Structure 1
Amino acid sequence: QHDYYGSFFLITAHEKHYYQVLALVFAVKEINKDPNLLPNTTLGFNIIDTHISDVRTLESSLMLLSGQRLAVPNYQCHEDLEMTETTEEKENKYICQCNSLQYIITCGPFDPILSDKVHFPSVYQLAPKDSKLALGMVQLLVHFNWTWVGLLITDNARGETFLWDNREEMARKGVCLTFMLKIPPNENYSLFPHSEVMGILHATSANVIIFYGSDNVVFDWEFEKEDYLSYNKVCITTSQWDFSMRPNTLLVESFSKSLIFSSQRKEIPTFIPFMRAIKPAKYPEDIFLKTFWSLFFPCPLNEKQWKEEDCSINTSLEMLPLRNFDMSMSSRSYNIYNAVYAVAWALQQILVLYPWKLHSFLRNMQFNNNAGDQVSMDQKRIPMANYDIINFVNFHNGTEVLVKMGEFKSHVPFGEDFSNHENYSIFYVLGNEQMLTLHSVCSESCGPGYRKSPCEGQAICCFDCIPCPVGEISNQTDMDQCIKCPEDEYSNKERTRCLHKMVKFLAYEEPLGMTLTYTALTFFLLTVMITGVFVKHQDTPIVKANNRTLSFLLLLSLSQCFLSSLLFIGKPTSTTCLLQQTIFGITFTMAISSILAKTITVVLAFKATRPGSRSRKWVGSRAPISIILNCCLIQVILCGIWLLVSPPFPDADSHSEPEHIILKCNEGSLIAFYFVLGYMGLLALGSFTVAFLARNLPDTFDEAKFITFSMLVFCSVWVSFLPTYQSTKGKIMVAVEVFSILSSSAGLLSCIFIPKCYVILLRPQWNTQEWVNHKSYARGKHHSKAFPHAS
């Protein structure tokens, strides 16, 4: 039988480290009882306490090399197999540097520095890499919409790596840090401003705090100060920052919303029964157990006063609350358990027990432990870590439990309810009302209808909510940009969805279109009636005065002007768009040129009365007809060029009114349109000027004065039309043009023909040759006195 005392575990004086010692004892006892593993061989162990001291750590390493209680540098007299297993991250580096000839198995968190096989060829790490831990934590934050968090890390290489990974992933997922604090290592811990930092934790607006680092550093904080710690904050940490084995002064209630990322592991079925059976009476030689028992049970600290029977009666580790002791195996205890089995299996495979051959066996060691998990000493074979998300729950009755809230798997894609497809995911198996209702954001989410506007000089998680402008929507929360609606849609008042625009045009059925239609038809019928009156009384003096042919042409053109306005009403088509402006321009040109011809006729008639005047040959129908034809020909040429170069066409205006698509006729060429209007304006101005100059000429029926008034009305209407036409959009613009056509045409009809109809119908005695001769004689006599040189 061979006894090997080659496995030395360095632990601290913290109570939780004794919990890890129990895992070591359990593994050693289990192996020693297994007849198939190391038969006829008993494993043993020595324990050395470093007290979290760098000096004690170095001293312990030298003691291991010398094999004695004294630390002798550069001396080794230990003939047995030496293997060191460490539990603390900080101790790993010192021990690995001093004991470079030994085989060292680290059970603490994975350290990338120790994975360098050039400097540490005989160091083995059981913990899996936690490179995906930052991804899992950020994904948890995103799931609960916690975008405003604080971060506390230890000021070492592992803390810096975690900070780098977290910042990169947080930036990708839109999570912001409101503060980041680094906790110094133990040797500088006394210089750390505890009160100032605890004040930051209390005053911060973030309701979620992430803790990451060595537990012996973080937990040395004065968390018993209730004034600093808020009950409304969630703590997210890892399993290495244990909540068990803490002194009673710890404010456990403050961590009732704590979420712990714990490496996934299977339960060892025989571990809890082993823990139930542990009592000082069963292991009287265990001085650590006596000290531990005295902390939680009524037993004296003085060993001389100890009575194992009294201290063991009605006491069990199972009776301790979760804050003091957890019966289940922790992640680090699980690593220690696997480390012991790794050593045992390596020894099992050694046929010749020489230390220099153990390395090859450890390097290739791979086995399944009693829980069914695969254990490997080759870091390349260790799979990426998967994590259970544990919620530390403290019920009102004082019961404390660790509840598995979900899990994070490194190699499982997102579910169908996630938008992206990266190679990790979180599956939540237990809802938590407190977690779902807790908010930890810098700015409240922008609801549908709003977009985020970053606040200058602040983190991306701090923003203002700006309503979407007209024509744009946001149908999700926290949208960076509003979505523009298609051309044929508009945004509702809430700016949450796009609605189809209603097609709109100046229709005959609507009140405005109906009013304009009735007005146009009324004036058209009135024009027809006046024409009938003039035809019936065409041989009377008032009709024959100033060329009745011109009067009939003017009435014809005015009737066409009234009818041309109907082309502007109704749904625009290619035909109506081509005819609208051309018919309007030509008919109005005919009307104005007819008035111009009538005015010139008045002037010529007056001049023809002078002896020897050459104007006599122009008096008659030849000159007026020539004027009308030439004026209309110019307008026809302008309209023809317009139609050839850039003709009007049907168009849909979706911008003038947000909720409507307005169908209208696009002029095609605004220059051509204004040329047509300008030419008519030039004719109107000429007619007005000639009529104004001839207003005092002798005329039986005051034709020149009536023409002056009519052209004054006409010019006033169209001068008002131009700015109004430019300032309106949609069907109102069309209505303005129709109104201008009707009002100007009605002005010409009223000022020129209504007085004549009054004489024909109501004062027939004025419409006789005797009256005309009498009035002409009176006007001539008056004119001779006023202008003696004219005779």
Structure 2
Amino acid sequence: MVLFHCQWFWTHYTYMLSFLFTIEEINRNPHLLPNISLGSDIYNAFPSEQNTMENALFLLSGGNQGFSNYNCQTQNQSVAIIVGTASDYSVQIGSLLELYKMPQVTYGPFDPVLSDKEQFPSLYQMAPKDGPVIYGIIWLLLHFGWTWVAVFASSDMKGMQFLQDLKDEMLKKDICVAFTKTLPAATGLYSIIDTHFVIQMQFHYSNAVSSANVYILFGDLGSFVTLHFVEGFYLISGKVWIVGNPYSAQWKLVFSYFSKMLHSFHGSLSFANKKKTIPGFKQFLETLKPYQYAGDFYFTKFWIDIFECSFAGSLCDKIGDCPPNSSLKFWTNFDMMTTSYFSYFIYNAVHAVAQVLHKMLLEKIEVRSPEDADHVILLPWQLHPFLRKSQFTNSEGDYMSFDDKKHMAQYDILNLVKISNVSWMLVKIGEFVSQSPDNQGMAINNETIKWPATFKKTPQSVCSQSCAPGFWKIPQEGQPACCFMCDLCPDGHYSNQTNAQQCTPCPAQKYPNSEKNHCHPKIVTFLAFEDSLGITLTSTALFFSVVTVAVLRLFLKHQDTPIVKANNWALSIILLISILLCFLCSLLFIGRPCTATCILRQVTFALVFTVAVSTVLAKTITVILAFKATKPGRTVRWLLVSGASNSVIPICSLIQVIVCAIWLGTFPPFIETDLHSEPRNLIIVCNKGSVIAFYCVLGYLGILALGSFTVAFLARNLPDTFNEAKFLTFSMLVFCSVWVTFLPVYHSTKGKFMVVVEVFSILASSAGLLGCIFAPKCYIILIRPDKNFFKSLKNRGIRHSEISTYKYQ
């Protein structure tokens, strides 16, 4: 069994010690591989593909010379290889080992590239998938509201896979990448400084300083050191770094050898795998003696570097004898007593191979004779069927297997804190647990986090400031989704959350407040009697009604006077009553509408105005017949005496009644709630039902008024003593002017103001009829009674034919 060692500093030597400890533990176990000692060879993997391949050839040839397809030590042939933390090493030797179907078990981080069984059919990864750390980073970004971040990833396969997976998840959560930078692959101490990369970073930071305050870093120790050189020249500082690599051994190396660069990472956050323990390993390290592995050059050098002393039998020259009580537990420069994550998987990897060997030996012994039991030969390719199905529970109670089943991932969230100028520590501030993409949880204590000195509080990292409630995001063309503008929600819409993608329409019964962040219930409104307009119109209607009643009473009292008789007393009374009803019908338009008032207001308005206008028409016709009757001919005189002109009123009114009946029988008016005319009000209005019927009513009334105006206009030149033809003409001119003006004004208003316009038109037209026709007569009756006698008419020299006309009227 072989261990490819692949790190730079002595802290990684604990991987080899854990390997040796596991070998010894298995050999002491009487139940595992009984009567068989498990052996091992250790090969160092230098940061060079050439050296790595040479060591692989030495292994396969079983000697110190790399001759392929030749091994003179068949009895001691290795059956499996335990490979180090870097995936690159597994890739480099994978093709060579595959020629011999040599099982390769890696103890490094899980790499999706190495899980491709078509490319690496003989490779097995001990560590579970660490993909959930990406979900942890996403949770961390969402927790602090960071949506604008930069990403640095190593240029190896694992770094590129991490970068792609992270971008995919960030896209799902509307998190944007300000820029990405791949760090040069660094597999050794002397290959980490890439001049070309440093020049690139110089150009980037001198021309485009990113507004992102959060940088995500995924890589090995070489990535940290590379950034240290860039920072030293181009000041990449004052940022919050999130370290995505969950294997915290690199932090320990930074503490030990690169403490000067840590000021750039003060306040950084990182994810670290939960600490594991290997039973008995700590005691093994504490009792380790310098002579225990005297034949191992690296062990000797390791001991000399730590304690600056050597021991008898050392491969190095004497530099001072080591004290008898020297022990690693007294070495305080670095904590070697804590089991690293990789040491834990080396322990499990060796046990996994040992379990497989144990099962294979049991099967071979069962099919062989007892005398051949000691001569069992195991070949590397024979391990694969057992390795694929290998599963066991280790001494810590953790389930181990080589399949792709997802394990529950548990990470500690650590905060790098500066204690003094030379003292740093990682403080645990939270935990992240992930069983599946849909089953995750994070606990974090914000109060204990120490941020970089440039931030006095929790830093922000956004491309655009959040849109407050009441606003919505407007994407910017050619910019990432996180870069946007905020605009106030349009009328009738609101948003009650930050960074709303779009505004939500308020329900029909509600309206948005001035801040557009929530909706208020609309106020139910109508033209009420209590409103100022309602009071004004009601008072006006009642005032003119009282005036009309007074004029009616005046005409009843002076019905025997010439001026009342001359103007056809009966028609005047009908006209006054219809005008009174016109004033009173306007009250139906005021107050909360109901089904009855909706029907009555339109029908009553149509009928009473039809009576009023037809009465004016009858009065005009009567005036014309009275003056025509003075000429020879009995027909006109008969029409005048018989009162045929009075039949105009019922005929005209009957036509309007028929139109109204059709209206009510087909599509009558009804109550309706107007939701849109006024943004903040629910207006209760009367829908006219059939619009055609409504305009037929108005059209008929207009034709009747126009006819009355035409007839009165033609009679305007008749003798004007007690002749009201001129007054009738003027009254109908006022009437038509009001209703012609009504139509455009009515259609240009909304809500209850439409009702106000209609009521005003009713009152104005009715007042016009009352004033123009009856005001001159009231003036003579009340102010100039001397003119209200036939004697005064005679004194004025009026012809007898005119006086006869009054009598016929």
TM-score bracket, normalised by the shorter chain, equals: 0.7 to 0.9
The answer to whether residue 424 in structure 2 is matched with residue 403 in structure 1 is no
- Please give the residue correspondences for 1:757-772 in structure 2 after superposition, counting only pairs within 5 Å: 757-772=778-793
Partner residue, 2:12: 17
Taking the aligned partners of 2:156 and 2:209, their CA distance within structure 1 comes to: 26
Partner residue, 1:394: 417
Partner residue, 2:439: 424
Change (3 A) 1:205 1:329: farther
Q: 2:277·2:344 contact (CA, 8 Å) conserved in 1?
A: no
Partner residue, 2:368: none
Residue 403 of structure 2 aligns with an amino acid whose one-letter code is Q
Give the secondary-structure state (helix, strand or coil) at the position aligned to 1:515.
Answer: helix
Taking the aligned partners of 1:314 and 1:91, their CA distance within structure 2 comes to: 33
- After superposition, give the CA deviation of every residue in 1:677-725 in whole Å (9 maximum; x if it has no partner): 2222222223233333333321213512222332232222222221211
Give 1:68 deviation, angstroms.
Answer: 2.3
- Please give the residue correspondences for 1:86-235 in structure 2 after superposition, counting only pairs within 5 Å: 86-87=83-84, 88-100=86-98, 101=100, 102-117=102-117, 120-185=120-185, 190=194, 192-197=196-201, 200=204, 203-213=209-219, 215-216=221-222, 219-223=225-229, 225-226=231-232, 227-235=234-242
- Please give the residue correspondences for 1:25-40 in structure 2 after superposition, counting only pairs within 5 Å: 25-31=20-26
Partner residue, 1:506: 527
Change (3 A) 1:534 1:296: farther
Residue 561 of structure 1 aligns with an amino acid whose one-letter code is C
Which residue, 371, 377, 396 being the options, matches 1:354? 377
Give the secondary-structure state (helix, strand or coil) at the position aligned to 1:394.
Answer: strand
Change (3 A) 1:716 1:19: farther
Taking the aligned partners of 1:615 and 1:449, their CA distance within structure 2 comes to: 79
- After superposition, give the CA deviation of every residue in 1:712-748 in whole Å (9 maximum; x if it has no partner): 3222222222121111111111111111111111111
Q: 1:65·1:77 contact (CA, 8 Å) conserved in 2?
A: no
- Please give the residue correspondences for 1:723-742 in structure 2 after superposition, counting only pairs within 5 Å: 723-742=744-763
Taking the aligned partners of 2:622 and 2:736, their CA distance within structure 1 comes to: 21
Partner residue, 2:265: 255
Percent same amino acid at aligned positions? Answer: 43
Give 1:663 deviation, angstroms.
Answer: 0.6
Give 1:528 deviation, angstroms.
Answer: 1.2
Q: TM-score, normalised by structure 2?
A: 0.85
Taking the aligned partners of 2:393 and 2:351, their CA distance within structure 1 comes to: 10
Partner residue, 2:805: none
Taking the aligned partners of 2:434 and 2:322, their CA distance within structure 1 comes to: 48
Give 1:309 deviation, angstroms.
Answer: 4.0
Which residue, 496, 506, 530 being the options, matches 1:485? 506
Give 1:355 deviation, angstroms.
Answer: 2.3
Residue 492 of structure 1 aligns with an amino acid whose one-letter code is N
Of 210-219 and 57-66, more deviation after overlay is shown by 210-219
- Please give the residue correspondences for 1:745-784 in structure 2 after superposition, counting only pairs within 5 Å: 745-775=766-796, 777=798
Give the secondary-structure state (helix, strand or coil) at the position aligned to 1:243.
Answer: helix
Q: 2:134·2:244 contact (CA, 8 Å) conserved in 1?
A: no
- Please give the residue correspondences for 1:338-349 in structure 2 after superposition, counting only pairs within 5 Å: 338-349=348-359
Partner residue, 1:65: 60
- Please give the residue correspondences for 1:616-627 in structure 2 after superposition, counting only pairs within 5 Å: 616-620=637-641, 622-627=643-648
- Please give the residue correspondences for 1:264-663 in structure 2 after superposition, counting only pairs within 5 Å: 264=274, 266-268=276-278, 270-272=280-282, 287-288=297-298, 304=317, 306-307=319-320, 309=322, 319-320=332-333, 327-349=337-359, 350=361, 353-356=376-379, 358-359=383-384, 361-376=386-401, 378-380=402-404, 383-384=406-407, 386-397=409-420, 398-403=423-428, 405-411=430-436, 423-431=438-446, 432-433=448-449, 437-612=458-633, 615-620=636-641, 622-663=643-684
Give 1:620 deviation, angstroms.
Answer: 4.0
Residue 426 of structure 1 aligns with an amino acid whose one-letter code is G
Give the secondary-structure state (helix, strand or coil) at the position aligned to 2:528.
Answer: coil
Residue 107 of structure 1 aligns with an amino acid whose one-letter code is Y
Change (3 A) 1:314 1:345: closer
Give the secondary-structure state (helix, strand or coil) at the position aligned to 2:12.
Answer: helix
Of 614-623 and 94-103, more deviation after overlay is shown by 614-623
Taking the aligned partners of 1:282 and 1:775, their CA distance within structure 2 comes to: 156
Q: 1:207·1:439 contact (CA, 8 Å) conserved in 2?
A: yes
The answer to whether residue 77 in structure 2 is matched with residue 53 in structure 1 is no
Give the secondary-structure state (helix, strand or coil) at the position aligned to 2:231.
Answer: coil
- After superposition, give the CA deviation of every residue in 1:39-91 in whole Å (9 maximum; x if it has no partner): 67665544333321111111110111122222223322233141321112101
Give 1:664 deviation, angstroms.
Answer: 0.8
Taking the aligned partners of 1:579 and 1:591, their CA distance within structure 2 comes to: 18
- After superposition, give the CA deviation of every residue in 1:280-306 in whole Å (9 maximum; x if it has no partner): 788776654676678888899x96573
Residue 64 of structure 2 aligns with an amino acid whose one-letter code is R
Taking the aligned partners of 1:272 and 1:620, their CA distance within structure 2 comes to: 137
Give 1:127 deviation, angstroms.
Answer: 1.5
- After superposition, give the CA deviation of every residue in 1:753-780 in whole Å (9 maximum; x if it has no partner): 1221121122211111111333461899
Taking the aligned partners of 1:128 and 1:749, their CA distance within structure 2 comes to: 100
Give 1:642 deviation, angstroms.
Answer: 1.9
Unaligned runs of 5+ in 1: 1-5, 412-421, 782-791
Partner residue, 2:697: 676
Which residue, 69, 79, 84 being the options, matches 2:81? 84
Taking the aligned partners of 1:19 and 1:700, their CA distance within structure 2 comes to: 133
Taking the aligned partners of 1:633 and 1:509, their CA distance within structure 2 comes to: 37
Taking the aligned partners of 1:308 and 1:453, their CA distance within structure 2 comes to: 75
Change (3 A) 1:679 1:311: farther
- After superposition, give the CA deviation of every residue in 1:630-681 in whole Å (9 maximum; x if it has no partner): 2222222222222223211111101111221111101112222222222222
Taking the aligned partners of 1:434 and 1:492, their CA distance within structure 2 comes to: 41
Q: 1:449·1:467 contact (CA, 8 Å) conserved in 2?
A: yes
- After superposition, give the CA deviation of every residue in 1:309-347 in whole Å (9 maximum; x if it has no partner): 4999899676336xxx67533322221122233344445
Change (3 A) 1:290 1:713: farther
Q: 1:257·1:391 contact (CA, 8 Å) conserved in 2?
A: no
Change (3 A) 1:433 1:588: farther
Give 1:545 deviation, angstroms.
Answer: 1.1
Taking the aligned partners of 1:179 and 1:54, their CA distance within structure 2 comes to: 32
Residue 212 of structure 1 aligns with an amino acid whose one-letter code is F
Taking the aligned partners of 2:464 and 2:337, their CA distance within structure 1 comes to: 42
Q: 2:329·2:337 contact (CA, 8 Å) conserved in 1?
A: no
Taking the aligned partners of 2:766 and 2:581, their CA distance within structure 1 comes to: 10
Superposed CA RMSD in Å reads 3.4
Partner residue, 1:787: none
Change (3 A) 1:281 1:145: farther
Taking the aligned partners of 2:157 and 2:81, their CA distance within structure 1 comes to: 23
Partner residue, 1:788: none
Give the secondary-structure state (helix, strand or coil) at the position aligned to 2:177.
Answer: strand
Of 126-135 and 193-202, more deviation after overlay is shown by 193-202
Q: TM-score, normalised by structure 1?
A: 0.87
Q: 2:149·2:214 contact (CA, 8 Å) conserved in 1?
A: yes
- After superposition, give the CA deviation of every residue in 1:390-436 in whole Å (9 maximum; x if it has no partner): 3132133334025262122224xxxxxxxxxx632123154455689
Unaligned runs of 5+ in 2: 363-372, 452-456, 803-809
Give 1:205 deviation, angstroms.
Answer: 2.1
Taking the aligned partners of 1:616 and 1:489, their CA distance within structure 2 comes to: 69
Partner residue, 1:244: 252
